[in-house]
């Protein structure tokens, strides 16, 4: 049958089509959009900038709203900052932050460590410090989180959770390792001069990285001190070890941003994109108004403009635009303010507290005043105004508890808008004595965030969702 003959012909042609030549024609599946490998410095730049971005966006917003430094407001519909400020912080609200931490910051820092290997210890050291900083914020925010099984890509899609204490112990050990690596005399590859954190030739920034490493250790040990006596010992040992700590505002651990769109400070961008959603909080504004705090001019915008007056909003206030907004300290004039993550001021307040309550060396009063001075200097306050303020408010007095309250209250002012730490201080000490807001949806101030919805939905090995926002992280002893 002819039909058969022709069928065979077509089939043969088809077979030919699908043989060798066709195989080549079909072998076009290499993406021109996504490289399969990239240089280490590009990974580092992306990750380091993201460290600053996460700290200056969600981490800062959640903790500053909870701690009544920021207030949620609106001139239209209900806004998320309003909800967060009255503690309606749903599991879904943490999705983006959690994803940014692991999938944008940590995984790439991990790849930097892997790529640098033993040949480039400066790189591994710096990456480990940034990892330690980010992980510590996460533990302080959520409690137990994936750590030892995390970042294994497709080889472990369902990482188990590690106890916060275990993670802290590992972070402190990693910081020690990082210090050793940063101190190495040579490194095949160097952290680029363009680093958004401690920019400049590594030979010059190296001491700053070491100072930051030690100060971060201080911060973590202070967190643990409430619960763990060994941490108190370790803190005192560290202080007497001759280790270098942040020594001036130039040593501040901060990430740089610019005035250029898409490179601006995240707080500034938020204010642009969500006009009027975050304004100054009545609590901190009133506190600073009472003491005529000279930092107000850079912390807030005045209202009405040009009046030199500052007006904060409290949760539950009617919608209005008639409030002070965040000022140049956090935003810059066009988004160029750095995101401050661990400051010389904080170092001094840590020392003041440690001297007061943990038997650490040094004079609490001196550190207390140094902390205020560092903060005010960083906020551009003239030295005369600093002296005036310290004269009026710089003397510790009363019981140890009274003095501690003074220290933490001042630390709270110095930590304006910082990621998590002002919230951690309150959880550790109960200071400043903020109250549950008027329109609160729960009868307490949150002590940690819910695990993100994505995590409880997608990770069968995730910890059970918390019963409430009053769940405590490991160092937040009763």
Partner 1 sequence: MLSVTQIYAQNRTISGTVTASDDGLPIPGVSVKVQGSKTGTISNSDGKYSIQAKQGDVLVFSFVGYSSANHTVSGANTINVKLLVDSKQLSEVLVTSYGIERSKKSLGYGTTTVSGQSITATQNTNFTNSLDGKIPGVQVSGSGGAFTGSSILIRGNVTFTGNNQPLIVVDGLPIDNGGGNTPLQSGPSLSNRGIDINPEDIESTTVLKGAAATVLYGSRGASGVIVITTKKGTKNKKAEIEYSGSYGFGSPDRLPDYQNTYGQGNNGVYNKALATSWGPVIAGQNEVNFFGQNEPLKAYPDNIKDFFQTAHTAQNNISINGGGDKTTFRASYGNDYDTYVIPDNTLRRNNLTANVRTEVTPKFRVGTSFSYINNESSRTQQGNQLSNPLFRGWFIPRSYDLQGLPYQDAAGNQTWFGTTDNPYWTIQHNRFHDETNRVLGNINLTYDILKWLTADLKVGEDYYGTNNNAIDDIGNKGGGNAGGSSVGVGGLAFNENTYRNTDVYFTLNGTRTYGDFNFSLNLGGEYLDNYQNYNQQLAYGLSIPGFVNLSNASTYVPTNSTYHYRIAGAFADFVVDYKKWLTLNLKARNDWNSTLAVGKQSIFYPAAALSFVLTDAVPSLKTNTVSEIKLRANYGKVGKGPTDFIYNTSNTTFAAAGISDGFGPTITFPFNGVPGFGLNTIAGNPNLTPEFTKEVELGGEFGFFKNRLTIDGSYYHRTSTNIILQVPVSNASGLGFFTQNAGSIKTNGIELGVTGTPLKWNNGFWQIGVNFTHFVSTVTALAPGVSTIFLGGFTTPNIQLVAGDQFGQIYGTAYQRNGSGQLLLDQNGLPMATAAVQKIGNPNPKYDLGITNTVNYKGFNLFFVFDIKKGGDLYSRNYADVERNGVAAETAEFPRFTGASVNNVPVQTTPYLFPGVYAPGTPKAGQANTTQVSAQTYYGNAGKYIAAEGYIYDTSWFRLREANLSYNLPKGWMDHSPFGRASIGVYGRNLWLYTPHYKHFDPEQNALGINNAQGLEFNSQPAVREIGVNLRFTL
**Angle made by CA atoms 450, 468, 470, in degrees to the nearest 5:** 100
Measured from the Cβ of residue 352, the count of other Cβ atoms closer than 10 Å reads 30
Smaller CB separation from partner 1, 36 or 478: 36
- Of the pair 64, 357, the CB lying nearest partner 1 is at 64
Question: Is 230 among the residues that bind partner 1 (CB under 8 A)?
Answer: no
Asked whether position 242 contacts partner 1 by CB under 8 A, the answer is: no
Pick the closer one to partner 1 by CB: 340 or 403: 340
Q: Which helix (H) or strand (E) holds 424?
A: helix 421-429
31-90 binders of partner 1 (CB under 8 A): 31-39, 42-43, 45-47, 49-50, 53-54, 57-58, 75-78, 80, 88, 90
Q: Considering the complex, state which of residue 146 and residue 371 has its C-beta at the smaller distance from partner 1.
A: 146
Q: Which has the closest alpha carbon to 243: 170, 167, 345, 347? A: 347
Among 96, 289, 377, 409, binds partner 1 (CB under 8 A): 96
**Minimum distance between the CB of residue 271 and partner 1, rounded to whole angstroms?**
9
Bridging pattern class, strands 278-280 and 70-72: antiparallel
Under 8 Å CB-to-CB from 463, ≥6 apart: which residues?
Answer: 144, 161, 451
Q: Which of 62, 70, 84, 98 binds partner 1 (CB under 8 A)?
A: 98
> Rule CB under 8 A: which of 150-209 touch partner 1?
150-154, 156-159, 192, 194, 196
Q: Which of these segments, 18-26, 354-362, 383-391, 407-415, binds partner 1 (CB under 8 A)?
A: 18-26
Q: Which of 173, 272, 401, 436 binds partner 1 (CB under 8 A)?
A: 272
Q: How far is the CB of 70 from partner 1 (least distance, A)?
A: 14
In sequence order, what DSSP letters do the residues of 21-41 get, joined into one string? HHHHHH-----SSS-S---HH
Pairing assessment for the beta strands 145-146 and 253-255 based on DSSP bridges? unpaired
Which one among 262, 290, 391, 478 touches partner 1, defined by CB under 8 A?
262
69 Cβ contact partners less than 8 Å away, ≥ 6 residues apart: 280, 281, 283, 284, 412, 416, 417, 422
Nearest distance from C-beta of residue 340 to partner 1, angstroms: 17
Strand partners, 313: 281
Among 460, 464, 467, 478, binds partner 1 (CB under 8 A): 460
Is 382 a binding residue for partner 1 by CB under 8 A? The answer is: no
457 touches partner 1 by CB under 8 A: yes
The token pair at 375 is 């903060």
């Amino acid at each position: 049958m002819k039909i058969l003959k022709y069928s065979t012909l077509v089939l043969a042609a088809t077979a030919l089509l699908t043989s060798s030549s066709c195989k080549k024609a079909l072998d076009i599946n290499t993406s021109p959009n996504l490289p399969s490998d990239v240089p280490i410095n590009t990974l580092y730049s992306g990750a380091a900038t993201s460290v600053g971005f996460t700290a200056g966006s969600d981490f800062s917003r959640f903790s500053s709203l909870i701690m009544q430094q920021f207030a949620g407001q609106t001139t239209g519909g209900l806004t998320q900052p309003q909800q967060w400020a009255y503690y309606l912080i749903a599991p879904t609200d943490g999705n983006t932050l959690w994803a940014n931490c692991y999938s944008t910051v940590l995984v790439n820092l991990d790849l930097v460590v892997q790529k640098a290997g033993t040949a480039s210890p400066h790189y591994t050291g710096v990456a480990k410090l940034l990892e330690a900083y980010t992980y510590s914020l996460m533990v302080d925010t959520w409690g137990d989180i994936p750590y030892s099984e995390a970042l294994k890509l497709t080889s472990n899609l369902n990482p188990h959770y590690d106890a916060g204490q275990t993670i802290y112990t590992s972070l402190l050990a990693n910081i020690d390792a990082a210090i050793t690596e940063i101190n190495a005399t040579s490194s095949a590859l160097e952290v680029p001069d363009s680093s958004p954190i401690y920019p400049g030739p590594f030979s010059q920034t190296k001491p700053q990285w070491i100072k930051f490493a030690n100060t971060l250790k201080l911060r973590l040990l202070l967190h643990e001190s409430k619960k763990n006596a060994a941490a108190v010992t370790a803190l005192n040992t560290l202080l007497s070890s001759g280790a270098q700590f942040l020594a001036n505002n130039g040593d501040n651990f901060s990430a740089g941003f610019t005035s250029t769109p898409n490179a601006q400070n995240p707080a500034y961008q938020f204010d642009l994109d969500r006009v009027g959603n975050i304004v100054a909080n009545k609590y901190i504004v009133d506190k600073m108004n009472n003491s005529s705090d000279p930092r107000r001019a850079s912390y807030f915008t005045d209202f009405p403009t040009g009046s030199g007056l500052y007006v904060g909003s409290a949760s539950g206030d009617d919608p209005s635009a008639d409030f002070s907004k965040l000022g140049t300290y956090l935003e810059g004039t066009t988004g160029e303010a750095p995101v401050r993550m661990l400051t010389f001021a904080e170092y001094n307040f840590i020392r003041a507290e440690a001297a007061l309550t943990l038997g650490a060396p040094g004079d609490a009063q001196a550190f207390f005043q140094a902390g205020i001075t560092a903060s005010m200097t960083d906020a551009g306050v003239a030295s005369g105004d600093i002296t005036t303020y310290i004269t009026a408010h710089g003397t510790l007095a009363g019981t140890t508890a009274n003095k501690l309250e003074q220290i933490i209250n001042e630390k709270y002012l110095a930590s304006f808008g910082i990621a998590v730490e002002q919230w951690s201080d309150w959880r550790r000490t109960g200071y400043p004595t903020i109250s549950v807001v008027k329109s609160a949806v729960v009868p307490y101030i949150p002590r940690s965030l819910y695990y993100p919805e994505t995590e409880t939905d997608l990770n069968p090995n995730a910890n059970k969702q918390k019963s409430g926002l009053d769940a405590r992280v490991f160092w937040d002893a009763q």
